[in-house]
Structures are given as C-alpha cells and as structure tokens.
Chain A
Amino acid sequence: MPDVEQPVEVSPKLTKTKNKKPIGFYLSATWIGTVVFLAAFGWVLPTRSWDSADYDALGVKPFSPNHPLGTTGDGYDMLSGLVNGARISIFVALVGVIIGGSIGTFIGVTSAYYRGMYDRVVTMIFNVMLSIPNLVLSLALLSVLAYSDENNPTTTSRRVGVLMLSLTIVVVPILGRIGRASALQWAGREFVLASKSMGTSNPSIIIRHILPNVAPAILAIGFLAVGSLIIVEGSLAVLGIGVPGGASWGSMLANGRGNIAYSPHEVYMPAMAIALTVISCNWFGDYVRRALDKRESKI
C-alpha cells in the first residue's frame, strides 16, 4: 500500500490571529444590534409617547434630564421619535433588501447558469431598470399609487407599502447583477461539471454549488443596500413624499428642517442615526464578505 499522506492541520495560533476582528466590527455590530433591537422592541421600552407633544418643553436642548436628546420645537421627544423611527426606517429598508434581493439573486443566478435567450432578456431588463434613477422611480410610484391631497388623503400604511414596493424594485437589478456576475464566474468552474457528471440536477447544482459561492458577494452588497435604502427613504421624506408625520428618521429630518437655525439638534439627531446606521451596515457587510470568503486565496 502506498504511503498515506498526513492531514493538513492549521495551528490554532495561526487561526486565531487570522480571525482577529477589527474594532470597527464590534462598533458596527453593536450599533446595528442596538438599532435592530430598538426597531423590534422599542414599543415595550418606558420611553415617552413619540406622537404626543410635551407643551412644557418646546425645543429643549439635548442632555436635559427629562428629554435626554431634547425635544422638537413642537415639544415632541427626540429619543422616543428616534426609537419609533428606527422601526419604520429599518423595516422598510430590510424588507426592500430581503424581498428585492431574493428576487434579484434568483433571476441573476439562474440567468447566469442557463444563459441563452433568457440571460439576454434578463440582462436587458436589468440595464433598463438600472438606467432609471431610483429617486425618480420611487417618486413616480409614490405619486401614482399613494397619491394624497387634502380631499383624498392616503393612509400611512399605504404610503409605507408603496414605499417598500418601490425600494424592492430598486434593489432587484442591483443584487440581480451582482448575483449574475458572480454566478457566471462560478458556473464555469470544474466542480459544477464534476457535480453534473455525478447526475445532480440543475436546480440542485444551483442551490448546493452556486449559491454558497455567490452568497458572500450578495450579503456584502445586501448590507450596503440596506444602508442606501435608509438614505433613499430619508431623501424621499425630505422631498415630502415619504412616510408622513415624523414616523421615520427621514420624516423627522424633514420636519426638523425648518428649525435648523435655532434648534439644530432636530436635524442632527436623525441625520446622525441615519449616518451611523449606514456606516455600520457598510462595515458589517465588508466583514461578512471577508468572513464567508473560504476559498483558495485563504491559504
């Protein structure tokens, strides 16, 4: 019998230094954790009601004992507003990315795998969709599907629904393209052919062999997309067609715009929440990509 090779062992010390996480990872993970926790369980916290004004405290500066982050000029508590706003902002962005990302990844990966006419049509549609600026698209959808004036007001939930729809449509071609580009690279690899030669069916190859390889790219861009959708939501609110009444971060920013001269914290606070969340999403996405990147280059 021929000599038996010894298994390659990676020393624990080496693995440890390799996996050392940068400080940014902890910061961003903590921030995302906090925001997601507040978005999910903010309503059970003993904060003030976000939509009833405290008329004894109009435009209070931050760090006051009763209102840690101050109040707006109309006496709404900023902290409760931010906690409540997290719910809508995060929910809208997450739903957009999860639904849009799933649809986009599915279409992109299958088109890269099967190629042919299907692939050409998909690429063309993605290109057309990407050529429409996302703000314009959302504006058009919102003003048609959730039109609102004094005589026929729309409900907030309808607004949020249409907003999510438009954000989903924005995400589909972005992640679809990433998924397609990445899957193209993997579909031509020999292990796909090897699995095929063992009689594995095409859908099974896509799920077992292509998707796990495409996932790091999709997740990284997915986190980036969460960040940009939060910004899109804010922009729409500032344009006056987002979620009304200070119910989201963007909406709070839009409401506070007029008071920036004498109570700037009304703008800074939601803007800071948005900025921190977006930066954290980018950092975290980058880390996820590196952590999932188990391939030859890692040796």
Chain B
Amino acid sequence: MSSLLKIDNMSVSFATPRGNLRAVNDVTIELLKGESLGVVGESGSGKTVLSRATMGLLPGTATRTGTITYNGQVISDLPKDEVRELWGTGMAMIFQDPMTALNPVRRIGAQLTESLTVRLGMDKKAAKQKAIELLMRVRIPDPESMLRKFPYQLSGGMRQRIMIAIAVSCEPQLLFADEPTTALDVTVQAQVLDLITELRKESDMAMILVTHDLGVVAGHTDKIAVMYAGDVVEYAPTRQLFSNMKMPYTEALLKSIPRLETPTGSRLPVIEGRLPDPTKNEPGCPFANRCPYVTDKCRAEKPPLTNAGNNHYYRCWFPIGGEK
C-alpha cells in the first residue's frame, strides 16, 4: 500500500499574550491509504491542534513548521486557495460537538447539499438525490423528510450522523474525526464508531481518530499515537501497543479507564498532577512530575523518540519492560 499522508517534523505554536505556546512539538507520522490512526491524549495534549494543523485549519495566530505530504504532493507550503481545493474532496473532518457544528438556522438538506453543489458542481436535483443516498448510508430513517428538518429537531446521535454524512459527501480519502463521540451518550458512541468504520471499509478511506479514550481507539484503528504535552510519546501498531506498552503515560491512561471488576466504593484511578505550562520550555521529560517511575535523569534530560522494533516508538528513559 502506498503512503497517503506523511507528516515530517511538524511543530505548531501559538502567539499568546503570555508568550509562545508550543502546542505540537516535532511530530512525525505516516499514514497509508485506507489505514486508520488513533491520536490519544488528555485534554490539552495537542491532539486536536495536530489534526487541524495537518488539514491547515488553524487560526491566524498559529505558526506551523515542518512538511506535510499528501498523496505525494507537499501541501504544507501551498497557498491557502490550493489547500482549500483538497478540503472536502481530499480531506474532511468530523467535529466534536454535533450541537454546534450544524448551522441552527439552515435545513439539513441545505447543509448537506452545500458541498455537493459548491465543490462538485452538481445541480440541485442530483445533489438532493445524492443527499438522500448519503442519509441512507449513515442509517437515517425517512431521509426525504430529514432534508426539510432543522438541526434543533434532531437528537445528538442523529446530528452526528448528519455531520458524518456531510464529511463523507465528497468522498474524501482521509477523514479526520475529532473526538466524534465525546458529546454523545455511551450507547450511541459505539453505533457512531461502527458506522464510521463501516463507511471507511466501503470506500477505503483513511482516518485519523482523535480521542482521549483508549477504549474507543482499540477496536477502530490500525495504529496509535499517544500524545503528551505536544509530543508523540508512544507510536505503535494498535495490537503492539496494547500487548507491550513502553510508556508509563500510556499505562497511566489505560489504568484510568473505569472497570467493571473493580470493587464498589474504590476510588477512580487518576493521573495526579497536570500538564506542564506549554509556554515554558523546561528541560527534562514533560511527564516527569507525574510519572511513578521518575528518576533524576528524567528531570534533567528529555528522552528522544526511541525505536523498539516492530514500528514501535516511545519517548522514555526507563520504558516498561526494559529496553526492547
């Protein structure tokens, strides 16, 4: 399989009144056609910025360095208008909150056919036909009448399906799903994820799934990048990561998922402490202050990204299970 997206040494920083905020540090990621990558990390770890920066959807205060290659074409230094050509038809994004990602005053039909008429140049009738097909693909009952509805008439799960339908309407090759299930209730989460995976299989679409929930990525991705404070701290094929994790942070993330078998009344496991201040550039491992295995070396020197073989990379001086 050939490479679809290659991110080389991408860094993103924002100019803020308190100084330069580094949101993503030197990230290198490669994604093959039809493959899916999970980006996992806690709030503020830079995972959303990573996905938006890759697409080029950053606000004016952001600076991005590094190269992004999409389908063999370097897109990181293209002018905005040419990047926009790729949006929708090449790369598309599903947003986190379906409550705010649909325009409240326009009908579902209008919002769904917008990119079809504007981007693909379909006439109204063809666009409507295609919109009905899309709604059927995302399992919405009675698609005809759905076209005339306003977003406020729909539930969260329905809206997220509409968002998915909009995102896949121009048949992109790469889908960014930015916490697509965070705003939904647990019973609907699984349905939405299964739906995305099904749609991906149908059209061989690659996906970058951004989430804070390791449980969500487990069944739906081929590989996982764990992010912490803007760094990719562990990067491995999904199976490999779960069977042989190297990074104390990944372990801590996994431990903080509540389990059914824990006795009633026991405390939820949490990762103590908080992320380091992203405007300061302190030496040492950014996770040092919260790590149970911390040593003096961790506080003094930042570990490099180390290759453990089998496409497994980690960023730690003292990985779980020792070197290799």
Binding site for B on A (CB under 8 A): 1-8, 10, 115-116, 189-191, 193-201, 204, 208-209, 212-213, 292, 294-296, 298-299
Stretch at the interface among B81-89, B225-233, B304-312: B81-89
Contact B115 A212 (CB under 8 A): no
1/0 per residue, CB under 8 A from A, across B99-112: the answer is 11111111000110
Contact A7 B149 (CB under 8 A): yes
Residues facing A in B124-158 (CB within 8 A) are: 139-142, 145-146, 149-150, 152-155, 157-158
Most buried by B among A194, A198, A201, A294: A198
CB contact under 8 A between A7 and B101, given known A199-B85, A199-B115: no
Contact A213 B150 (CB under 8 A): no
Partner of B104, one of A7, A116, A204, A294: A294
Binding site for A on B (CB under 8 A): 55, 57, 60, 84-89, 92-93, 95-97, 99-106, 110-111, 114-115, 118-119, 139-142, 145-146, 149-150, 152-155, 157-158, 163, 166-167, 169-170, 188, 190-191, 194-195
Partner of B84, one of A1, A2, A199, A299: A199
Contacts of A209 in B (CB 8 A): 103, 106
Could you tell me the distance between the alpha carbons of A200 and B167 in the complex, rounded to whole angstroms?
A: 12
CB contact under 8 A between A213 and B99, given known A2-B195, A7-B149, A294-B150: no
Sorted from nearest, which 6 A-B pairs have the closest CB atoms? A199-B87, A2-B191, A199-B88, A198-B88, A295-B104, A198-B115
Known pairs A190-B97, A213-B103. 4 more at Cβ < 8 A? A3-B191, A5-B141, A200-B115, A298-B152
Contact B57 A193 (CB under 8 A): yes
CB contact under 8 A between A204 and B152, given known A190-B100, A212-B105: no
Looking at the assembled complex, report how far the CB atom of B175 sits from the nearest CB atom of chain A, in whole angstroms.
Answer: 11
CB contact under 8 A between A197 and B93, given known A4-B141, A294-B105: yes
Contact B119 A198 (CB under 8 A): yes
Contact B93 A194 (CB under 8 A): yes
Could you tell me the distance between the alpha carbons of A191 and B97 in the complex, rounded to whole angstroms?
A: 10
Contact A2 B118 (CB under 8 A): no
Looking at the assembled complex, report how far the CB atom of A11 sits from the nearest CB atom of chain B, in whole angstroms.
Answer: 12
CB contact under 8 A between A199 and B119, given known A1-B139, A209-B106: yes
Contacts of A298 in B (CB 8 A): 152
Contacts of A213 in B (CB 8 A): 103-105
Contact A191 B101 (CB under 8 A): yes
